Structure formats: C-alpha cells, structure tokens
C-alpha cells in the first residue's frame, strides 16, 4: 500500500472518530435490523409448523413474526435517517478541514491545484469520502446477513450449509475481482472529473476574452477534452459491475436451488419440517446476498478513492510560523542575502535592501525582474530559499501568525473582494476596524464616492457590485488603509487608477503621521518620484538604491524603464459586465 493510500485511510479513520456516536448508533441500528431479518425466517417457519401440526401457541409465533416485521421496518427507517445525517456531517467536517488546510498553505503551494480541481475535491470528493463511516457501519450488517444465513442453514441441517458453501469460493472470487477493478476505475474517474472542472473554471473566468477572441469552439473542445477518458472509465465501471452482477445472477440461483432441492429431500425423508424448508429457502437468499454487500463495498472503494484525492491536498505542508512577537519599533524592513529560486531559475539573488522605519521605498524594474516576488517575501507570503527578512530586527519566520499579520498589510493589483459586502471587504483583517474607520479608509482610497452611489451603499453584496478594475483596486487600497500596521506593501496596487486619482491616493498614503513603513511596487515614474527612495531591481539584484531624481539624472538605463509609459493611463469608466470579472484574485 502506498503512503498516500495509508494517509487516506488515516483520514477516513479520523472522519469516523469525529462522528463516533452516530457511527456507533448506525452500527447498532443496522446490526439490529440484520438480527431481526435473520430471526424472522426461523419464527415464520416455526409458526407454519405449529399451524400445520394444530398445536397450541401458533398465535404467539404469529405475533412475534409481526413484531419482528415491524421492528425491521422501523430499524430500516432509523438506518436511513442516521445514514443521511452521518454522511452530511462527515462531509461537512472533511470540507472544513480541507479549507482550513488550504488557508494554512503558502500561496505558491495552493496554486499547485487549479481552482476547479479544488472545487471538485471539496464538493463531490468530500461527499463521497463522507460516506465512509456509514458505509463501514452498514457493511458489517451487510456481512452479517450472508454469514448469519450460512450459520442458520447449518443449524437447520449441516448438509444445507454444505451445499451452499460449495459455491461460496466462486462468489468470493467474483467479489474480489469487482473490488480490485472498481478501485482503479474510481480513482481514474475522479481525476478526470477534477481535470474537466479545472478547465471549466478557467474558461468561465475568462468568458469575455473567449467571446472577444471568438474561440468558443476551441475552448469548449479543450474543456471537454478529458470527457472521452471520463466516459471510458464510467463505462468500464458499468461493465465491471454488470459482469459481476451477471456472474452472481447465474451462481446465486443455482446455490439457492441446490439448498431448496436438498431441503426438499430432507422433508421427504422427514428429517426437516415444512417450516424448516421455508426458513432454509429464505436463509439461502440471505446467504447469497452478495449484491447488497457489493453495494456497500463499492461505497467504501469510492470513499477511499475520494479520500486519496483529499489527502493529496493535506500532504502539502502548511506554512510554518514561529511563536515570537515584535518589539516596539518604527517598522524597519531589512532583506539580507535573500535568494529566491522559481522554476529552477534564481529570480532574486543576493538581495540586500533596507527600508528605514516610516520611509517609503518604491521598487522598480523591468517585467519579470521579481518585483512581486520581492513584495511577497517582504511580508512573508512566501519564504526565500536563502537569506532572512527582518522587521524591526526580528526574523519574520520567527513571528507567530497573528503578530505577523497585524504588523504587515498588503494591497494588490487585483484584490479579491471578500467579506460578503463592500464594508466587509474593506474591514477584512485581523481586527474589525469599525464603521467609522471603514468609511475614513474608503475616503482616503477615493472609494467612498462610488460606494455611496450604489443602491445599498456599503451594504452592497460583493457578488452584486458591478465595478471597474480601478474601483476594485480602490477597495483593496481602502482595506489596506483601514488596518493599522507598521509595514504596508503595495504590489502595483494603483496600476488601474487614472493619474488624478492616483495622486489623491498617494497623498493619503504618504500623509505625515501615519507611522507606517511603505514598500511600493511601481511601474510609473510618478509613483517612484513621490517615494523617499527607489530600489532599482535588475537581473535579480538591487542595482541601486537612491531617490528617483538621482537615478533619473545619472542612469539612462533607469530612464528607459519608463520610456514606454503612457502619458495618461486612464481608469476604465465602465462597470464590469457579465463574464470575465474585473478582479479574479489577489496578484
């Protein structure tokens, strides 16, 4: 068994332990139902014998038969209710656990899985894995019926059991072949499902681009590309199940006929009563109940395959945090000997950079120079492969999570609108800033005006807010402004703003008395010019650290960085329409 399979089994065991009371109750109910089902043929057979013999007490046996019948019906109803509640609660626990783990990963780790694939794992796969405790509990009862049927045949007459056991090994082979093949089919089927879902989410996210490029047919074919493989695995499962059912359909009646035939001979010899023959016929049916057992085992196989896919996510190590706290300080940021390798290439190599407490440093460089990676390392969204990042002399890796996130704030080029409402997305953070601070932050980010024009204002649900790219950026800036921290990192967070709006936002950002250190990823000369210092990133190194005016005057190569800058990068005026969203996540 592979390590992934073992971990998947451990995950299912943990899920079972989480629902222990309901699992035990379900096991008790299903076992009791099986016991009632096993007792009923014997009681009916005895009632028939008493009636045929004209003995007294037939009424008691008939009443007992009725009681067992009613008990079986009630227990079956309880089994249905317990199974449904146990499955839903276990699936919910697995989903919550998956989400918790995903949120604990470094962003780069989480990006290993596509959005659609994660949705499939968190919905369909979690639902299938959530069936494991109920399937396990029910399987014991399903196994008790054939085993109990064989034991009951032996108690009636050993020759009856012997006739049935002659064909039992063949039933076992049918069951073994079914489980082995079905396990592989289920795993491949679930993988293809995730692949289709991942591609579908990508296309839906770029619906406007697809429409503009008129590539609907091509994208449809790409999304549905895995469909033949999905269909092949689905048909393969049906063939396996059909073959197993067909083999059992031939073998089981032969065994039942054999038991009834031997029972008839025993009745003819007066070695078995008529009631005993009726009971033997019913027990032969129960003993041959491989169909019900196969259904439960198939559920376990499907649950194990789904748990394996969940475990692949859990196998990604969570982002480690320390236990330290930050001392009082101005927010001095230091990167010492930082090296970061991505895709086998050193994007940043030997970075030494100091941002004085309370100062603003703009980071500029050509596309692909590693500016956004530097921003991620500066606030510990990712860790460097070598070197350290310190805030007020403390290694960020030594801080506990709440201390780090209270101290460092971010604004992104493409902020995600989380929090339910626009007020919620601005206030999203380690602390609730309150309505007053939310509105003040929106004014500082030039977002208050357009928010107030919406029918529901700050209470507008994010999903219904039709916003331009610049408006979304201003909400992201407002969220960064709403929370007090000693370091604020802006990763190209004003790129969609027009010049006038950017100027007003920058004035709020650089206003005296904020007490914040600011690291700004910049693409515009105007942004760099307003910073205290500019860090010129080139070929993985900090080529120079000086005021923008000095770099502009002394380095023609620096001036060429902004040569292609448009005179007036206008903010889109129109609201985002249906299809591709203005923002699809934080960059």
**284 contacts 142 by C-beta, under 8 angstroms:** no
CATH number of 333-560: 3.40.50.300
Q: Can you give the pLDDT at residue 566?
A: 47
Determine contact, residues 128/105, Cβ cutoff 8 Å. no
In 3D, which of 447, 445, 463, 465 has the Cα closest to residue 455?
A: 465
- pLDDT at residue 576 in the model: 40
Closest CA to 124 of 135, 133, 116: 116
Cα–Cα distance between 492 and 33 in angstroms, integer?
65
Pairing of strands 487-491, 408-412: parallel
Q: Is the dihedral of CA 155, 156, 157, 159 positive or negative?
A: negative
Residue 5's SS3 state is helix
2.60.40.420, 3.40.50.2300, 1.10.3720.10, 1.20.1560.10: CATH of 3-190+238-314: 1.20.1560.10
Mean pLDDT by 10 residues, the chain (587 residues): 76 88 90 89 87 80 90 91 92 93 85 84 90 85 82 87 77 67 73 81 76 80 85 78 65 76 86 87 78 69 87 91 92 94 89 93 91 93 94 95 91 86 90 90 91 90 86 91 90 84 82 79 87 92 93 92 57 40 46
Provide the whole-model pTM: 0.74
The C-alpha atoms of residue 471 and residue 474 are separated, in whole angstroms, by: 5
Exposure letters 528-546 (e unless 16+ CB within 10 A, then b):
bebbebbbbbbebbbebbb
| Topology match between the domains 3-190+238-314 and 333-560 | no
Distance CA 68, CA 42 (A): 11
pLDDT at position 120 is: 87
Q: Which helix (H) or strand (E) holds 87?
A: helix 58-104
**Cβ 505 vs Cβ 446: under 8 Å:** yes
The predicted pLDDT at position 513 comes to 61
Total H helices, total E strands in the chain: 23, 10
Of 201, 121, 92, 144, the closest CA to residue 580 belongs to 201
Phi, psi dihedrals of residue 412, rounded to the nearest 5°: -115, 165
The pLDDT assigned to 564 comes to 55
From residue 44, alpha-carbon distances to 40, 54, 271, 479 in Å are 6, 15, 19, 74
Give the full edge-to-edge strand order of the sheet including 394-395. 345-355, 333-342, 386-391, 394-395
CA 370, CA 440: separation in Å to the nearest integer? 33
Q: Where are the domains of the chain?
A: 3-190+238-314, 333-560
Q: Which pLDDT does position 270 carry in this prediction? A: 84
pLDDT of residue 78: 93
- R_g of the chain computed on alpha carbons: 34
CA distance 218 to 211: 11
């Amino acid at each position: 068994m592979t390590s992934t399979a073992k971990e998947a089994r451990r995950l299912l065991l943990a899920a079972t332990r989480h629902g222990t009371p309901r699992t035990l109750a379900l096991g008790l109910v299903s076992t009791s139902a099986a016991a009632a089902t096993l007792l009923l043929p014997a009681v009916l057979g005895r009632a028939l014998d008493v009636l045929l013999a004209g003995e007294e007490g037939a009424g008691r046996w008939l009443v007992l038969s009725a009681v067992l019948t009613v008990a079986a019906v009630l227990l079956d109803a309880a089994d249905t209710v317990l199974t449904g509640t146990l499955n839903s609660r276990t699936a919910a626990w697995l989903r919550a656990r998956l989400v918790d783990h995903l949120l604990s990963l470094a962003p780069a780790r989480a990006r290993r899985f596509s959005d659609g694939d994660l949705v499939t794992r968190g919905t369909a796969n979690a639902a299938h894995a959530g069936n494991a405790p109920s399937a396990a509990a029910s399987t014991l009862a399903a196994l008790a019926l054939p085993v109990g049927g064989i034991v009951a045949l032996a108690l009636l007459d050993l020759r009856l059991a012997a006739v049935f056991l002659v064909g039992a090994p063949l039933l076992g082979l049918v069951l073994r072949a079914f489980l082995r093949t079905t396990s592989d089919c289920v795993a491949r089927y679930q993988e293809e499902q995730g692949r289709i879902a991942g591609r579908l989410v990508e296309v839906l996210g770029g619906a406007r681009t697809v429409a503009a490029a008129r590539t609907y047919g091509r994208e449809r074919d790409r999304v549905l590309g895995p469909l033949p493989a999905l269909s092949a695995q689905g048909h393969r499962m049906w063939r396996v199940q059909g073959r197993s059912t067909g083999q059992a359909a031939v073998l089981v009646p032969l065994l039942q006929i054999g038991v009834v035939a031997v029972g008839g001979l025993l009745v003819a010899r007066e070695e078995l009563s008529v009631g005993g023959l009726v009971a033997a016929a019913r027990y032969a049916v129960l003993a041959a109940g491989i169909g019900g057992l196969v259904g439960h085992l198939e559920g376990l196989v499907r649950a194990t395959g789904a748990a394996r896919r969940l475990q692949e996510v859990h196998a990604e190590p969570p982002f480690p945090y320390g236990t330290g706290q930050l001392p009082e300080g101005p927010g001095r940021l230091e990167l010492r000997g930082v090296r970061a390798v991505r895709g086998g290439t050193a994007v940043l190599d030997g970075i030494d950079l100091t941002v004085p407490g309370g100062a603003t440093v703009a980071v500029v460089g050509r596309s692909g120079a590693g500016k956004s990676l530097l921003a991620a390392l500066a606030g510990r969204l990712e860790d460097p492969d070598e070197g350290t990042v310190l805030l007020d002399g403390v290694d960020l890796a030594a801080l506990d999570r709440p201390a780090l996130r209270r101290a460092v704030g971010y604004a992104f080029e493409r902020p995600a609108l989380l929090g339910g409402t626009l007020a919620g997305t601005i206030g999203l953070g380690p602390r609730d800033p309150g309505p007053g601070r939310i509105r003040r932050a929106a004014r500082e980010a030039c977002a208050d005006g357009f928010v107030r024009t919406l029918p529901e204002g700050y209470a507008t649900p994010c999903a219904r807010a039709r916003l331009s790219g610049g408006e979304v950026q201003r909400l992201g800036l407002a969220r960064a402004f709403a929370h007090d921290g000693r370091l604020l990192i802006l990763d190209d967070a004003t790129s969609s703003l027009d010049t006038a709006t950017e100027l007003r936002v920058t004035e709020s950002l650089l206003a005296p008395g904020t007490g914040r250190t600011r690291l700004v990823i910049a693409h515009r000369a105007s942004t760099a010019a307003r910073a205290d210092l500019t860090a010129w990133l080139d070929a993985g190194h900090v080529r120079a650290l000086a005021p923008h005016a000095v770099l502009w005057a002394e380095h023609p190569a620096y001036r060429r960085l902004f040569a292609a800058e448009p005179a007036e990068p206008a903010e889109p005026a129109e609201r985002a329409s249906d299809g591709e969203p203005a923002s699809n996540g934080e960059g």
